[in-house]
A and B are shown apart, each in its own frame.
Chain A
């Protein structure tokens, strides 16, 4: 081995063997900053927005943009929760039920207490559902699809039983304030969504929990051997997913001013659509809050554009479905270009 040590030329370690020039590190840095799927979504968003401002003079108005913001905020919050669960290699199909449950609980409680208290309890209930989901998946080792599908079904029943006379109309005037008010020119809903997004981003990027979540999604066994408490991490991811679904539920409920058991039926698919458009991988431990947020905004802009252009609103589902396939197809192509170890 001593011969080896002598024969190691200066600066030519195993890493340096490939030629670490300054230009390349710059390129690498650029690639690290803009090479992810997020930049693709961002470009798509810019193109969409540009096209819509040309097509309709109503698009780039303050009123319309506030409107888009209001429509998108609940979806964006829901997406963050979905992201956490997808990142640990799971899936949460109960979020539609959670949204309905949170809305019904908040609407019922608002009759006897302040809206803020009602909202808090509703969100805690949603967190509890997430903990149960997480426990069944992480501790009991049950299949996440089956567990959360069943949970969603059961929650729908609970929410329907809690609202026997159909949607609960809230007469507490403060209830709709969350949705109607603004902070400066920005709707409170948008601020709430931004707070959730920043919180999600910090959790994933700046806390060891986030690192653990990514590692469990990347290779659970490896993470476990490295000392990551994989079960608690998975459970926490589901709990966070439930919590954000609950928050999305109260945002939606505040907008409609009512508590409806089926409130979450279409938004769940939109949330997964937004996540996949935003570059989240299924079972690969890849995805960022920035990506899913952009995905949510893209969907919001599409549905807004369809309204503005006077098309039948149902077109939005076809467009977003097509967009998912386009997005993952594009990511695949990009991955193929970077194929190999070079």
Chain B
């Protein structure tokens, strides 16, 4: 994967010139120009709301630009709908998965692909191409399962399989790894490698900057709707972060968040939350004994089917358990529902932002205030002033721009939606935060502020149960990580033995400290 050689630099896969796009007065793109050469892999990075997804939507025909032009293979084209883009050989995996829930995995992969149908549209049996693509991402066993109820990571892989099955000239991936564990990310890297050998160009959006070096040839940095820099992947991470944020951001990467808290003498308090013999009503996990102390961040890791996200759901009262108890401060929690859990001081942030986080018809302020409404009302009557004050404070803490308070939540960029959801959890002043991939899609600066908020919660005697697919993040933030495999805890790693490779091994129940 050498950098684009001068000979190929002449040929253009796709080029956007002076693209402008405004949404009700907000200028999301201010004359953006971007070129991806044939066979080149280009990364697109930038802070939340920089306009990356909007630019991608323009290229894939989902959004019509106000001004500017697009060229594909050297010809100027008007991409009026996603279909046009697909016909031009542009395949896109969107930031929020775009699958049809009532169709099977294989049907979703074939959807919209004329080559799976003959003549008048008679569907051919077999669907070999779909299966081959699913094999690439390790999902061939699920081809006939409906997409409904599949984990976010698996749905993401299905989207990738669909894009790949179309033999695109240009593959666009908008944060494809946000929900993937290293295993699945490994699949993705293999797929990308294979496509690149065939000369497919790649446009890749991510906030995990450390991924870039092994994938891309060039990095384009966007800020506030403009392209501000182009760099080679050899650029130092700190410089890249500064380019993205536009100012000096304090990235305390050298000092792990967990270490910082330990130095401050926060961890190792009294017992706060305990589960004993927890068994899921639907068999997703069994015999879970956990203990979280005040000031502690407990990590939970596992493959998508390990039961990790179901366990978090159960602790947060969103899932029935068949047996076992959950106790807070030594008191067993009786009535179990998310609402009861919230009253007890457990805040929950589900992993699947688009489907289980955002309430689509509400605005940002309503989103942030939703969980805390019982605290701010008397007899059901809302105290609006109090809500406004508290909401505003939470939004500032979580780096949500107060100017968007009245904007519909769905018009925010993916990362900014996630920040608002984190603010919603904090707005209820929880003692224990139970969260799954809480920083998914959030830029470097936003992630730092969330780490700080977590530190503050721990300092004030709270605790966090944090499940993440991004193992590097678990290593950064957690004091202790339990690893689930097929529904049981197979390993517990404390600070001393905590690093990415032992977490990966433990996820497959290989080695690690058996429990």
- Interchain CB contact under 8 A, B121 and A208: yes
**Residues of chain A lying within 8 A (CB to CB) of residue B185:** 1, 4
Q: Which of B296-335 contact A (CB under 8 A)?
A: 303-306, 310, 319
Given the interface pairs A208-B123, A227-B112, the reply to whether A4 lies near B62 with Cβ below 8 Å is no
> Residue B182 contacts which of A1, A207, A286 (CB distance < 8 angstroms)?
A1
- Interchain CB contact under 8 A, A211 and B102: no
Q: Which of B473-512 contact A (CB under 8 A)?
A: 486, 501, 504-505, 508, 510
A18 to B505, CA, bound (A): 17
Binding-face segment, A38-46, A61-69, A192-200, A215-223: A215-223
Most B C-beta atoms less than 10 A away, residue of A214, A339, A340: A340
Q: Does B367 contact A (CB under 8 A)?
A: no
Q: From residue B233, how far is it (CB to closest CB) to chain A in Å?
A: 15
Given the interface pairs A217-B102, A286-B102, the reply to whether A14 lies near B184 with Cβ below 8 Å is yes
Q: Which of A198-232 contact B (CB under 8 A)?
A: 205-212, 214-215, 217-219, 221-229
**Residues of chain B lying within 8 A (CB to CB) of residue A12:** 508
Q: From residue A256, how far is it (CB to closest CB) to chain B in Å?
A: 37
- Interchain CB contact under 8 A, B214 and A211: no
> Residue B123 contacts which of A1, A14, A206 (CB distance < 8 angstroms)?
A206
**Residues of chain A lying within 8 A (CB to CB) of residue B486:** 17-19
Report the count of interface residues on A (CB-CB < 8 A).
47
- Interchain CB contact under 8 A, B284 and A14: no
A71 to B478, CA, bound (A): 69
- Interchain CB contact under 8 A, A222 and B99: yes
Q: Does B281 contact A (CB under 8 A)?
A: yes
Residue of A nearest to B105 (CB): A15
- Interchain CB contact under 8 A, B504 and A7: yes
- Interchain CB contact under 8 A, A229 and B83: yes
Given the interface pairs A1-B189, A7-B510, A222-B98, the reply to whether A14 lies near B138 with Cβ below 8 Å is yes
**Residues of chain B lying within 8 A (CB to CB) of residue A212:** 111
Provide the A320-342 mask, 1 if CB < 8 A to any CB of B, else 0.
Answer: 00000000000000000001111
Q: Does B142 contact A (CB under 8 A)?
A: yes
A290 to B505, CA, bound (A): 49
A15 to B155, CA, bound (A): 12
A267 to B287, CA, bound (A): 56
Q: Does B228 contact A (CB under 8 A)?
A: no
A321 to B267, CA, bound (A): 62
- Interchain CB contact under 8 A, A207 and B190: no
A1 to B140, CA, bound (A): 22
- Interchain CB contact under 8 A, A225 and B82: yes
**Residues of chain B lying within 8 A (CB to CB) of residue A1:** 182, 185-186, 189, 214
A53 to B510, CA, bound (A): 63
Residue of B nearest to A9 (CB): B508
**Residues of chain B lying within 8 A (CB to CB) of residue A214:** 100, 102-103, 107
**Residues of chain A lying within 8 A (CB to CB) of residue B153:** 14
A219 to B183, CA, bound (A): 29
> Residue A341 contacts which of B92, B113, B149 (CB distance < 8 angstroms)?
B149
> Residue B103 contacts which of A206, A207, A209, A218 (CB distance < 8 angstroms)?
A218
- Interchain CB contact under 8 A, B183 and A14: yes
Q: Does A22 contact B (CB under 8 A)?
A: no
Q: From residue A1, how far is it (CB to closest CB) to chain B in Å?
A: 5
Given the interface pairs A1-B185, A225-B62, A341-B149, the reply to whether A7 lies near B505 with Cβ below 8 Å is yes
Most A C-beta atoms less than 10 A away, residue of B114, B123, B501: B123
Q: Does A279 contact B (CB under 8 A)?
A: no
Provide the B98-129 mask, 1 if CB < 8 A to any CB of A, else 0.
Answer: 11111100011011111011001111000000
Q: From residue B351, how far is it (CB to closest CB) to chain A in Å?
A: 12
Q: Does A32 contact B (CB under 8 A)?
A: yes
Given the interface pairs A7-B504, A8-B183, the reply to whether A15 lies near B142 with Cβ below 8 Å is yes
- Interchain CB contact under 8 A, B112 and A340: no
Q: Does B154 contact A (CB under 8 A)?
A: yes
Given the interface pairs A1-B186, A8-B183, A227-B83, the reply to whether A211 lies near B99 with Cβ below 8 Å is no
- Interchain CB contact under 8 A, A226 and B138: no
Q: From residue B238, how far is it (CB to closest CB) to chain A in Å?
A: 22
Given the interface pairs A208-B117, A211-B110, A228-B112, the reply to whether A16 lies near B141 with Cβ below 8 Å is yes
Q: Does A285 contact B (CB under 8 A)?
A: yes
> Residue B510 contacts which of A9, A13, A209, A340 (CB distance < 8 angstroms)?
A9
Residue of A nearest to B60 (CB): A225
Q: Does A58 contact B (CB under 8 A)?
A: no
- Interchain CB contact under 8 A, A15 and B186: no
> Residue B98 contacts which of A4, A221, A284, A285 (CB distance < 8 angstroms)?
A221
Q: Does A140 contact B (CB under 8 A)?
A: no
Q: Does B282 contact A (CB under 8 A)?
A: yes
A20 to B142, CA, bound (A): 10
A286 to B117, CA, bound (A): 22
**Residues of chain B lying within 8 A (CB to CB) of residue A18:** 305, 486
Provide the A46-65 mask, 1 if CB < 8 A to any CB of B, else 0.
Answer: 00000000000000000000
Q: From residue A276, how far is it (CB to closest CB) to chain B in Å?
A: 17
Q: Does A5 contact B (CB under 8 A)?
A: yes
**Residues of chain B lying within 8 A (CB to CB) of residue A4:** 182-183, 185-186, 504
Residue of A nearest to B135 (CB): A13
Residue of B nearest to A281 (CB): B102
- Interchain CB contact under 8 A, A340 and B303: no
Q: Does B386 contact A (CB under 8 A)?
A: no
- Interchain CB contact under 8 A, B100 and A342: no
Q: Does B451 contact A (CB under 8 A)?
A: no
> Residue B122 contacts which of A207, A215, A342 (CB distance < 8 angstroms)?
A207
A-B contact pairs, 13 of them (CB 8 A): A1-B182, A7-B508, A15-B138, A20-B141, A208-B117, A211-B111, A211-B123, A212-B111, A215-B103, A219-B99, A222-B99, A226-B108, A228-B83
* The 4 A-B residue pairs with the shortest CB-CB distance in the complex, in nearest-first order: A227-B112, A13-B138, A340-B282, A218-B100
Interface residues of B (CB under 8 A from A): 60, 62, 81-83, 86-87, 92, 94, 98-103, 107-108, 110-114, 116-117, 120-123, 137-142, 144, 149-151, 153-154, 157, 162, 182-187, 189-190, 214, 280-284, 303-306, 310, 319, 486, 501, 504-505, 508, 510
